[in-house]
A = this chain, B = another copy of it.
Amino acid sequence: MAKSWATLGVDLHLDPTGTGTGTGTGTGTGTGTGTGVRRGLTDALRDAVRTGRLAPGTRLPSSRSLATDLGIARNTVADAYADLVAEGWLTARQGSGTRVAERAVVPPTDTTPPRRLRSRPTYDLVPGTPDLAAFPRTEWLKAARRALTAAPYQALGYGDPRGRVELRTALAAYLSRARGVGADPEHILISAGISNGLRLIGTALRARGSRAIAVESYGLTAHWQILAEAGLRTRPLPFDQLGTNPAQLTDEPAVLLTPAHQFPMGVPLHHDRRSAVVDWARRTGGLVLEDDYDGEFRYDRQPIGALQGLDPNHVVYLGTASKSLAPGLRLAWMVLPPSLMEEIAKAKGGIDTCGVLDQLTLAEFITSGAYDRHVRAARLRYRRRRDTLVEALAQHAPDVHATGIAAGFHAVLSLPPGTEQSVVQAAAWQGLALHTLSFYRHEHAVAAPLDALVVGYGTPPDHAWAGAVEALCRVLP
């Protein structure tokens, strides 16, 4: 290799196929012509500048000289130089040749702290995630094939901020049938999870001038956080054995509730209070946000229909595929009072932000009946797990009382007063991930603190459930 080339100190990878690599194993130098060679030379030079092997200000050999060294066409070298001048790596000035640009190129500085190495717990009993091992992959792929084959190509473009009409139509029928929701496709909006839906509502309420929202004394910190980020202070309502008490609702513009199955306490909202909250909304023009996260999963009686049916003009119904299928789909839905649709669509940015392929697939999954079959099978599975848990508790931990187990896939285990911390520590030693009830308690909650665990029975796969229950019983008093 002649001097002018060697001086560059460049690893040149020529790729005659034209796909280029820029890194990796070289395929020799000095062979081939055209695009592949030019690409290889450009990549090699860029890398050399980027990594500092070619220092700022370095004068490059003339294109004629380098071409001779490499046994390639002079134009190829000239083109590569021109590309790199255009990109800003090199400079070309009349009379001073081609040089490495004077800016010192620095590698990216990583200022993120190293992630803590957390070992995965042996059993994950944190509530909120369904049994992902039971995700109906084959059925889903079949639905995806049917949906994508049938979709008009225009469906793949920029979409309606409300989401695909196929999904909204399927949901309107399903929600009316399964949850007593009064919905038509025009008033449904698809969001990337309920949290994303709450963000949109929070943004819309803030844009209306609202500054606060009533919430429950127990719930998801993440939801309160989202509302706070939207500019709304969250004020918790009192909670007792009849559920959240709406009597203290005053001039808040909205209240966020989980009427069918209070999260995490598990009680359904008492019918007097269902009526009272709707009456409040109608009287004051307030808005009820009904988070129906796991309304499909009720074991001992008919599911309680949605509050929304009582007054579609004052209740926003929020449902999700995160519990019935998988959170990773990031598909949830809101049934909105018609007057609110425009504001929410605006908060969503005026375009759809959820992938259409999954929307079309879920629509097909619902209308084909696969969704009903899946929910039915999941309901049976969770019910079995719940029964295993309840039996094990009765046998091994008679002092622990499980509540909120008529629905959903988590239970609240009331502990003898003063034992919570020792149980949590024992659980950590046993490789059990679980949350205490206080984790879900609003900092301004109007309810006496209780020693209790919130135990999810969705996450461990079926085969691990017996082991999880055994481990849990070992740490209970």
Residues of A within 8 A of B (CB): 19-23, 35, 38-39, 42-43, 46, 50, 79, 83, 85-89, 91, 101, 103, 105-112, 128-129, 132-133, 135, 137, 140-141, 144-145, 148-149, 153-159, 176-178, 180, 182, 184, 186-187, 192-193, 195-196, 199, 222, 226, 268, 271, 274-275, 278-279, 282, 301-302, 304-307, 309-313, 322, 326-331, 337-339, 341-342, 349-358, 372, 461
Contact = CB atoms under 8 A, between A and B. Distances in A.
Given A109-B338, A328-B157, A338-B111, A22 B88 contact: no
Contacts of A178: 20
Given A133-B153, A153-B461, 16 more contacts: A22-B176, A35-B302, A87-B310, A88-B310, A109-B339, A110-B187, A132-B153, A141-B148, A156-B327, A192-B353, A196-B349, A328-B352, A329-B355, A329-B357, A330-B355, A354-B355
Nearest first, the 8 closest Cβ-Cβ pairs linking A and B are A328-B356, A156-B326, A88-B274, A108-B312, A156-B328, A192-B353, A132-B153, A87-B305
A91 B310 CA distance: 13
Given A83-B305, A192-B192, A330-B354, A105 B46 contact: no
Given A186-B112, A311-B103, A356-B329, A87 B180 contact: yes
Please state the number of chain copies in the assembly. Answer: 2
Contact of A352 (B101, B149, B330): B330
A301 B358 CA distance: 37
A192 B137 contact: no
Contact of A304 (B86, B103, B106, B351): B86
Nearest to A155: B328
Contacts of A182: 50, 107-108
Contacts of A353: 192-193, 196, 330, 353
A88 B278 contact: yes
A137 B341 CA distance: 33
A35 to B, nearest CB: 8
A23, A342, A358, most chain B CB atoms within 10 A: A358
Given A132-B156, A330-B355, A226 B195 contact: no
Nearest to A86: B271
A177 B328 CA distance: 29
A310 B88 CA distance: 7
B132 A157 contact: yes
A156 B141 contact: no
A83 B302 contact: yes
Given A103-B275, A105-B310, A330-B352, A338 B112 contact: yes
Given A83-B302, A144-B144, A180-B46, A110 B157 contact: no
A408 B39 CA distance: 20
A302 B110 contact: no
A420 to B, nearest CB: 25
Question: Most chain-B Cβ atoms within 10 A of its Cβ — which of A178, A186, A196, A330?
Answer: A330
Contact of A129 (B91, B158, B177): B158
B135 A141 contact: no
A241 to B, nearest CB: 15
Nearest to A159: B328
B311 A105 contact: yes
Nearest to A144: B144
Contacts of A337: 108
Contacts of A305: 46, 83, 87
Contacts of A274: 86-88
Contacts of A22: 176-177, 180
A195 B351 contact: yes
B339 A271 contact: no
A338 to B, nearest CB: 4
A351 B306 CA distance: 28
A242 to B, nearest CB: 12
A88 to B, nearest CB: 4
Contacts of A312: 107-108
A149 B137 contact: yes
A400 B134 CA distance: 61
Contacts of A307: 87-88
A459 to B, nearest CB: 8
28 contacts: A21-B177, A38-B302, A43-B180, A46-B180, A46-B305, A50-B309, A83-B305, A87-B304, A87-B310, A88-B271, A89-B309, A91-B271, A105-B311, A107-B312, A109-B313, A132-B154, A141-B141, A141-B144, A141-B148, A153-B461, A155-B328, A156-B326, A156-B328, A158-B327, A192-B354, A328-B356, A330-B353, A357-B358
